[in-house]
Structure 1
Amino acid sequence: MANSIKDVADHAFDYVIAGGGTAGLALAAGLAANSSTQVLVLEAGPENLEESSPIRIPAPPGVVINDPKYAWVFKSSPQKHLEGREVVVQRGRTLGGSSAVNFTVWNHPPAGDVDAWEKLGNPGWNWELFQKYAKKAESFTSSSPERQALYRQEPHLSSHGVDGPLKTKFPDWVFKGDVIIQDAMQNLGIPVAKDPYGGDPIGTSMLAACVDPRTHTRSYAATAYYLPNKEKANLKVLCNAIVERVVFNDQHNDENVEASGVQFIHDGVKHVVHVRKEVVICAGALKTPQILELSGIGSRDILEPLGIKPRIILPGVGENLQEHAFCGVTFELQSKNAFETLDLFNDKAFAAEQHKLHKEQKGMAAMTITNFCFAPLKSTTETPSEAVKLIALQRQNIEERIRSGTLPPGLKEQWMMQLERMEEAKSGECEIVIIPGLFGGAAEPGKAYVTLIASANSMFSRGSVHVTSCDPNVDPAIDLGYFAEEFDLKLVTEMIKFARRLGETEPLKSIIAKETVPGSNVTTDEQIQDYIKRTLSSTYHTVSTAVMLPRDMNGVVDSKLRVYGTKNVRVADISIVPLHVAAHTQSTAYVIGGVAADIIMKDT
């Protein structure tokens, strides 16, 4: 790392970015493109840029996500509707953020999911904008015609970017059961998605991943946006710098607050860096609210008991948390088929050999998760009428809550938008991810498995994240709010039943030996729901805790990402998402960073 504390402390920069993650580095590269602009990025984690880092190897996925060297390993508060369980919630804590530790999935949400953002009061934030910046970020390399035909790696070239900094491709190593599972999905009524990257991902599809086609290594924010720009004299990046708070000038009133700098901790010592133009917080949906609250921006009820002087009263800070969640159904595969799965990596000798092959751009360590299904609830219940009934009951419930006048500002509009999308059956609230292996448990030696991850992408439940201490090293309290709304539990129940029906559908049925999780003793809805409550996991897609909505709807930032009541503080990460999308959030984070750079350069 070229920059040290002496390059930063007590110096002044035009822009100070709090967080060197997915959105933060995309934003930094955009701002630093103007050579007359001085940009500083403060990242809480280490750089981890060595080429030998396990970050770089795509498979098996999730290797570093629980390692404090690379990730924040948060725990939620005990979840009331999960029998008091604490849920582990990981985020990238390294240069590149969660793009360095995720499963490398690259996909786009349905166009209507993004258009909903504009309908909620954010002019210009629509599908056209999203697609423009997603393509600007991406450099896609398609497979050969032979591989396209064999593994159904449909390129849809017009919906991909081809000259952006982020490298994407289909995997070279492919699980031989993927095509079989896709055939079973079609036999169960799920169509092939028309254009997964063009705003119409509903159906089953093989998706690309963030992997460099030259090296078969992870392409992420640090390699795409930092390394190509690290020699620029106008860009400084300081790692192991924990941002504590934004420093404000005292001469302005509470509705016109101006930031003068940022206070941070490096090697246990507090420092201040000064800002000439703007502070942009890009610390993610679990850390951005913490920085805002420690800066005196939030609810009096949160700030004053901790002795934090309220500078701007914004009750929406840390509220409105939206998340995806998943459970798995695992099948043991018949041994006669000799499927190669990720279970092989449990053998240390095999894993070592694959890592050697990876250096030659060969072998299973270059594989990525590629087989996905995004479907509306109406496609995953046993009959469409069951989904219609569930959605109608949820509409009735919400309308009663609206009449009671007990909903917080903004929630009514979000919920009604979610209902509309479900009724239209144009979103992918029900997602199935095919993991070639036993996911979340110990595989029996010599056996091969496949796990169907059932992920709920449009939860009505809302959670929160708030500070409990003035010490920035103390994790915030994270309440995921899972199943606060009963409809969400019913939706996940239907998804587990759908995954099981898929296992009973040919040609998948013929390669399965037995179901191992949750197992044949789990049959009734009540037993399925008990299994869900015991095993439900976060999908690491938290959004909306510094939401972009009108202020009277509990918004935290306006459509230009400026924090209400401030002159020069913005938020640019997925905490601003107004309503969750039926997609993995990596592309959304890159889009927000790119859009933010252009907004800021036009404004200042």
Structure 2
Amino acid sequence: MRYSRCHLLGTLLPLVPFSTAAPAESVRFPRHATVVDHRAVANNYTFIIAGGGIAGLTLADRLTEDPNVTVLVIEAGPLDQGQDGILVPGAYAPYLYFWPNLITVPQAGLNNRTPGAITAQVVGGGSTINAMVFLRGDADDYDAWGSLGNPGWSWQGLLPYFIKSENFTAPDASFAATANISWDDSIRGHSGPVMNSYPNYFYPGSANWWNAALEIGLPAVKDPQAGSKEGVFWMPTDLDATTMTRDHARRNHYDRVKDSRPNYHLLTSNIVCQVLFMGKVAIGVSYVPTSGGGSSCTSSVYASKEVILAAGGFGTPKILQLSGVGPRKLLNKLGIPVVADLPGVGQNLQDQPTLTIPYNCELTAPPHVVTANVVPNYGTLLTNSTYNAEQRALYDSFHEGAYTIVSSLSTNIGALSLQQATSSYKDIIAAAKAANPAYSLPADVDPTVLKGYKAQRAALLNQFASPNVGVGTVHWGTSDSALIYHLKPLSRGTVNINSTDPLASPLIDFRTATDPVDLQVYTAIFRKNRELFAAPSMQLLGPTEAAPFGAHLTTDAEIAAVMRDQINPTNAHQCCTAAMLPLELGGVVSSDQKVYGVQGLRVADISHWPFQLSGAPMATMYASAERLADLIKKQYCLAGAC
């Protein structure tokens, strides 16, 4: 009898020999796709997917198109209950399904603060709790991924999968003309599963912001999905245009097909403890209820073809490390037998840090100070119960009005290349080139990981010099604050287990702003935001930058000092912790997302990205999962792929 060690309690789990595991085809499956509990999980599936977010559910949908394939998705969270906070944009309440008790270690670049780290714990993953921004990266992002030793990755290679994944509904033509919404229909998908469109309302003050952006030289972008979005545009969102509700991955890749897929099982509220190996071959997983409840990870299930990890930027490296795939030094420290020594697992952590800038909108007209902001605005929903009730009734009855906009946001956003952000962009690039890249990484970094980071950094600095790649975004919610985002940080963090308990949170260290160039870029974006608020169209509203910022902060050093106390290191876009890079560059997976050093194991989620996009992750995750599904189908001749 072969055994695999379950690291939770140190108990031994008997493994079914790979050659005699019960074939999936011998299991009697129900007529429809089924949400199962652990008692109804079959012994063997063709594929097991750890994680039911965008990547996991997209793959499960596409792979089960072949009726001879069986798939089990194991998701740590529950099914959402269709709450308004999830489905209704204007009632947005993402905290309903946050993963509990995720706290960073003290952040050295942020005055040793310990902010919370956000990730989803729900079927649908981030698509269920994010701010609904459905935005591709810039073309150079995907081309640069390919240039780092990943053949097959490029903008042109991924574009067909963007189109395949999407079902775009154009807004009403007259509204689009009034609102400055434009798009290129040739690069939008119209028959895919993922609904996306635009709100059918805008706050009047957003016109001031839009015009101010034009006044400071930002161009209006025809279509931000076309591969270059530097300028101002309406944010595409994952809206079902018929109901004006969120179209998350559970809806578009599980609910859509469940009545016709008896070969699709979904196990909710369970965490994958580890991948089970026979030698170097992944043959299944062990799992445990997320609630714990005194259970050890003695439940196991087997895969006849592959185990696919889709547990997110924190969860996937944790599972790999618990399974003996990761840095040997870490595994030895915790007594975990090494299956594959991969120093890059849990390294290269990135997010897109955010900064909120408070504003007062007042004009002094002696002897009075009056609010000059245009009403209604987002704040009116919070302060005027009559307006709020009217807008909710309008939404409920006709799917129109302010509740079609994600709560706290507006409809317009500006994406900035470094050239657009500052005339000093060459000085910033020169400073970055002069710095020792090792200083952007932990002190004990493996030489291969450092080598891979140097390759990334060179690609990123080329993007910094390009007018066609965004490094940051600016946004105003029309009320009392602006948001700016840093899309391309040079700092790199880590996610490492500190226990063999699969229910324990890993140690999360974003290491935000440990590379001084990141604060130079952030300061440039901050100053561009100031310029926008000083433009004539915004000055009509009387905006005054408020504490802890304000006009008294004049030097870059003064601004950066306040930023260190205010930057949120996460926009819940954590990525890149099982990077798709060559092994000699600290990579964890190959260009077809297979984990190095083992067989039958892939990474499907955002962990496999080499570095961040100039955009939000969601649209790319749908497209990349479509791409991976085709690769897997081709390898195994599924659904007529051969």
Q: Shared fold (TM-score greater than 0.5)?
A: yes
Letter in 1 for 2:566: T
SS in 2 for 1:192: coil
Unaligned runs of 5+ in 1: 438-448
CA–CA distance in 2 between the matches of 1:400 and 1:264? 38
Assess if the C-alpha contact under 8 Å between 1:43 and 1:237 holds in 2.
yes
For 1:366, the equivalent position in structure 2 comes to: 404
Per-residue CA deviations over 1:548-568 (Å, capped at 9, x if unaligned) read 011111100001111001110
> Matches of residues 139-178 of structure 1 in structure 2 within 5 Å?
139-178=167-206
- Residue from 598, 601, 604 that aligns with 2:633: 601
In structure 2, the CA distance between the partners of 1:52 and 1:487, relative to structure 1 (3 Å rule), is closer
Does residue 1:530 correspond to 2:561, yes or no?
Answer: yes
- Residue from 453, 471, 474 that aligns with 2:504: 474
Q: Which moved more, 1:266-275 or 1:490-499?
A: 266-275
- Residue from 582, 589, 593 that aligns with 2:614: 582
- Residue from 379, 385, 395 that aligns with 1:343: 379
For 2:471, the equivalent position in structure 1 comes to: 429
- Residue from 263, 266, 272 that aligns with 1:234: 263
Per-residue CA deviations over 1:149-189 (Å, capped at 9, x if unaligned) read 11111122112111111111111121212222122112112
Following TM superposition, by how much is the alpha carbon of 1:300 offset from its aligned partner in structure 2, in angstroms?
A: 1.3
CA–CA distance in 2 between the matches of 1:283 and 1:151? 38
Following TM superposition, by how much is the alpha carbon of 1:95 offset from its aligned partner in structure 2, in angstroms?
A: 0.5
Per-residue CA deviations over 1:207-255 (Å, capped at 9, x if unaligned) read 2101111111101101111101222101000100111101111xx3xxx
In structure 2, the CA distance between the partners of 1:597 and 1:400, relative to structure 1 (3 Å rule), is closer
- Residue from 181, 184, 190 that aligns with 2:212: 184
Following TM superposition, by how much is the alpha carbon of 1:70 offset from its aligned partner in structure 2, in angstroms?
A: 4.6
Q: What TM-score do you get using the length of structure 1 for normalisation? A: 0.91
Following TM superposition, by how much is the alpha carbon of 1:376 offset from its aligned partner in structure 2, in angstroms?
A: 1.2
Assess if the C-alpha contact under 8 Å between 2:491 and 2:518 holds in 1.
yes
CA–CA distance in 1 between the matches of 2:328 and 2:40? 33
Per-residue CA deviations over 1:95-124 (Å, capped at 9, x if unaligned) read 000100000001111101110011000001
Following TM superposition, by how much is the alpha carbon of 1:430 offset from its aligned partner in structure 2, in angstroms?
A: 2.0
- Residue from 463, 485, 493 that aligns with 2:523: 493
Letter in 2 for 1:260: I
Does residue 1:273 correspond to 2:315, yes or no?
Answer: no
CA–CA distance in 2 between the matches of 1:400 and 1:52? 46
Does residue 1:24 correspond to 2:56, yes or no?
Answer: yes
Following TM superposition, by how much is the alpha carbon of 1:273 offset from its aligned partner in structure 2, in angstroms?
A: 0.9
CA–CA distance in 2 between the matches of 1:580 and 1:110? 11
Letter in 1 for 2:460: Q
- Residue from 545, 548, 552 that aligns with 1:515: 545
- Residue from 36, 57, 70 that aligns with 2:88: 57
- Residue from 408, 411, 417 that aligns with 1:376: 417
Assess if the C-alpha contact under 8 Å between 1:503 and 1:512 holds in 2.
no
Letter in 1 for 2:90: A
Per-residue CA deviations over 1:576-603 (Å, capped at 9, x if unaligned) read 0112111011112112211111111111
For 1:443, the equivalent position in structure 2 comes to: none
Does residue 1:263 correspond to 2:291, yes or no?
Answer: no
> Matches of residues 103-142 of structure 1 in structure 2 within 5 Å?
103-142=131-170
Aligned residues: 578
Assess if the C-alpha contact under 8 Å between 1:574 and 1:588 holds in 2.
no
Letter in 2 for 1:205: F
Does residue 1:566 correspond to 2:598, yes or no?
Answer: yes
Assess if the C-alpha contact under 8 Å between 2:594 and 2:602 holds in 1.
yes
Letter in 2 for 1:397: A
CA–CA distance in 2 between the matches of 1:348 and 1:230? 42
For 2:4, the equivalent position in structure 1 comes to: none
CA–CA distance in 2 between the matches of 1:524 and 1:336? 29
- Residue from 277, 281, 284 that aligns with 1:248: 277
SS in 1 for 2:498: coil
Per-residue CA deviations over 1:69-92 (Å, capped at 9, x if unaligned) read 454552211101111011222111
Q: Percent identity?
A: 29
> Matches of residues 63-102 of structure 1 in structure 2 within 5 Å?
63-64=93-94, 66-67=95-96, 69-72=97-100, 74-102=102-130
Q: What TM-score do you get using the length of structure 2 for normalisation? A: 0.86
Per-residue CA deviations over 1:286-338 (Å, capped at 9, x if unaligned) read 11000000110001111111111111100000001122112122323353454
For 1:441, the equivalent position in structure 2 comes to: none
Assess if the C-alpha contact under 8 Å between 1:19 and 1:43 holds in 2.
yes
Following TM superposition, by how much is the alpha carbon of 1:130 offset from its aligned partner in structure 2, in angstroms?
A: 2.1
CA–CA distance in 2 between the matches of 1:376 and 1:338? 30
CA–CA distance in 2 between the matches of 1:202 and 1:227? 36
Assess if the C-alpha contact under 8 Å between 1:191 and 1:203 holds in 2.
yes
Letter in 2 for 1:374: A
For 1:446, the equivalent position in structure 2 comes to: none
For 1:316, the equivalent position in structure 2 comes to: 344
Q: Which moved more, 1:594-603 or 1:119-128?
A: 594-603
Assess if the C-alpha contact under 8 Å between 2:204 and 2:374 holds in 1.
no
Assess if the C-alpha contact under 8 Å between 2:63 and 2:69 holds in 1.
yes
SS in 2 for 1:362: coil
SS in 2 for 1:543: coil
Assess if the C-alpha contact under 8 Å between 2:372 and 2:542 holds in 1.
no
For 2:461, the equivalent position in structure 1 comes to: 419
